[in-house]
Amino acid sequence: MGTLHKVRAFVRVKPTAQFAQDVIKFGPDNKSIDIYIKKDAKKGVVNNKQTDWSFKLDGVLHNTSQELMYETVAKKLVSEALIGYNGTIMCYGQTGAGKTYTMTGATAEYRHRGIIPRAVQQVFKAIARAVDSFITVRISYLEIYNETLCDLLSTMTGSGASDVQMAIVDCPQGVYVKGLSIHPVSDEEDALNLLFEGETNRVIAEHTLNKNSSRSHCIFTIYIESRFRVLSDVRCINSKINLIDLAGSERLSKTGSEGRVLKEAAYINKSLSFLEQIIIALADPKREHIPFRQSKLTHVLKDSLGGKCNTVLVANICGEALHVEETLSSLRFATRMKWITTEPVINVTYDSEGTVKALEKEISLLKQELAMHDSLVNRSLVTYDPLTDVQLAEIKSQIHKYLQGTIDEIEIMNFRQVQEVFRQFKLIVRQQEDEVETRLRSKYVLIDKNDFATIAAAQKVMAGAWALPKTLFRMIFFLIQEGDLPVSQAQITCI
Ligand code: ADP
Ligand code: MG
C-alpha cells in the first residue's frame, strides 16, 4: 500500500504468414518495438513526415502461447485482487487483431482459452487453498453498444430482467451499474457457464438486432469478497477484476461506412478517444478534473483506471504491413497508458455485525473451555453467566456475616463472584464514611481545609472571642489603677 505503480502495457502480435519484418522490429530486450515505414511504401506519406518510431513497453508478446501470455499479463494482477486490490485488464486494438482471442480465447481447444477462463481458474484455485477466510465470488457481464448498457447475463435471472433500465451510479464505494445482474458462482464451472451464456447472448443479439460485436465494449467482472477474522474483528476485503474486450479501434476514415454503420463507428471512436483523453488526463498530475462521465465506457471504468487499482493494457496488433497505421496508433495508445501512475489500495471494511457474532462465538467457546477446566480439577458445576438477583443477595449476606465475624472466610467461586464481593465491600466502606461524617457534623462545625474564605471568617470569630478577655483585663487593670479594687499584681496576671 502507498507505493506508486505504473500502468503496465504489453503488445501482442497476432501470428501471420505475412509478417512485415522490414516494418516491425522487436528489440532484444523483448520490450521494445520499432516501426519503420518506407517513404514509398504508402502513398500520402510525405518526405518530411516521421517514418521511424520506437516504443518501449513492459513486454512484447510475439509467438506467445496463451499460457505464457496469461503468466506475463494477468497472473500477478489476479493474485493481488485476491488480497483486495482492484484490477483491470483491457485489450485494445483493431478488429481482427486478437483482442477476443486474448481475453476469452478460442473455445475449440482448452489450451487456447484466454484470460477470463484462466483468471476464473486462478481465483477458485486460491479459494480452495484458503483456510482461514471465507471467500465468495460473483460475476457480471456488461456490454456497451452505441452508448447503451446491455446486461449479457440478464437471461440468467429468469425474470425478464433484460428490460431493466440500467444506469451508471457513482457512490462513495465506487462506481456500479444499477440494474446489472451480478451472479454468485460457487465454482469454476459455474463461472464459465456464465461466460458462455454471455457470449451466446452476444451472438444472438448480433443476429437478431443486426449488431456488430466488434463494435461493442465487453466487460466481464469477477467480484471477490473475502471475510476473515483478525482477533475478534471480522475483516471484509472486496475487490473486483474487470476484464475488458474493447471495441475495434480502427479509425473512421478507413471503414468508409455510411448510415447506421457510420453512426456506430462514430460512437466507438468517440468512446475510445474519450478513453484516450482520460488516460492523458490521468497521466497529468496537475489535472484535477478527469471527465470520466463523458462516455459510458469511461464512466464505468472510473474506479478501474489508474487511481487505486492495478491496470494492465494489452495492445493487440496485426503483423502485416497493410495494418501499420492501426498498429502505430495502438502502440501510441499503449505508450500513453504507461504514463499513468496508480497507487493501488486494499478495499477493506470491518463488519460490526460479523464482529459481534464472532465475539459471541468466542464467549461460548471460552465458557466451554472453563467448564472443561472445572471438570479437570473436579470442581462442581460452576456457571459463568451474569449473577442472578438471588446470587447477589447471597453474596451481600455473606459479606455482612463476614464483617460481623459470624463466618471466617468467603469462599471464592468464580471471577464474577470475586468482583461482586469487592464491589460490595466498596459500597460498605462508602456507607461507613458517610455515616462517620454525618456523626461528626452533628457534633462539630467541620470546615474544609481548602475553603480559605470560611477559614478566614472563622478565625475572625475566634479573634473576637480572644478580644473579650483582653477588654475585660483592661477594665480590671483600669479599676486597679484607680485603686478601686484591692488586687495584687500576681492576681492580675492570672486573669
Ligand atoms: P478481435 O477480437 O481483436 O477482433 P479476434 O480475437 O477475434 O480479434 O481474432 C481474430 C482471429 O484471429 C480469430 O480467429 C482468432 O482465433 C485468431 N487469433 C487472434 N490472435 C491469435 C493468436 N495470438 N494466436 C492464434 N490465433 C489468433
Ligand atoms: Mg473481438
Residue 298 and residue 278 in contact, taking contact as beta carbons nearer than 8 Å: yes
Nearest of 467, 466, 488, 468 to residue 477 by alpha carbon: 488
Residues shown for the chain: 495
> Which amino acids are annotated as binding site for ATP, given as ranges?
93-100
CA distance 40 to 377: 98
3-state class of 347 per DSSP? coil
pLDDT one-digit tens code per residue, 468-481: 666 665 655 555 55
What grid cell was written down for 29?
A: 530486450
Residue that has been written with the C-alpha cell 483493431 in this structure: 94
- Work out which ligand 1 atom sits closest to the CA atom of 64: 23
Q: Is the pLDDT of residue 488 over 60?
A: no
The model's confidence at residue 40, banded by pLDDT at 50, 70 and 90, is low
| Predicted pLDDT at 235 | 84
Residue 35 and residue 74 in contact, taking contact as beta carbons nearer than 8 Å: no
pLDDT one-digit tens code per residue, 105-140: 998 899 999 999 999 999 999 999 887 788 999 999
Ligand at minimal distance from the CA of 213 is 2
Q: Whose CA is nearest to atom 18 of ligand 1?
A: 98
pLDDT one-digit tens code per residue, 159-216: 544 556 899 999 887 889 999 999 999 999 999 999 999 999 888 877 777 777 778 9
Which residue type occupies 472? Answer: L
Residue 81 burial by CB count (10 A; 0-12/13-18/19+): exposed, middle or buried?
Answer: buried
The percentage of residues in the chain with a pLDDT greater than 70, rounded to a whole number, is 85
Probe target for ligand 1 pocket from 14, 112, 113, 320, with the most ligand atoms within 8 Å of CB: 14
| Predicted pLDDT at 254 | 45
What grid cell was written down for 351?
A: 463488519
3-state class of 410 per DSSP? coil
| Predicted pLDDT at 230 | 73
3-state class of 294 per DSSP? helix
CA 44 to chain centre: 53
Q: Which residues line ligand 1 (CB under 6 A)?
A: 14-15, 93, 95-101, 106, 214, 248, 316
Helix (DSSP H) and strand (DSSP E) numbers for the chain: 14, 17
Residue 119 and residue 195 in contact, taking contact as beta carbons nearer than 8 Å: no
> How many angstroms separate the alpha carbon of residue 212 from the centre of ligand 2?
10
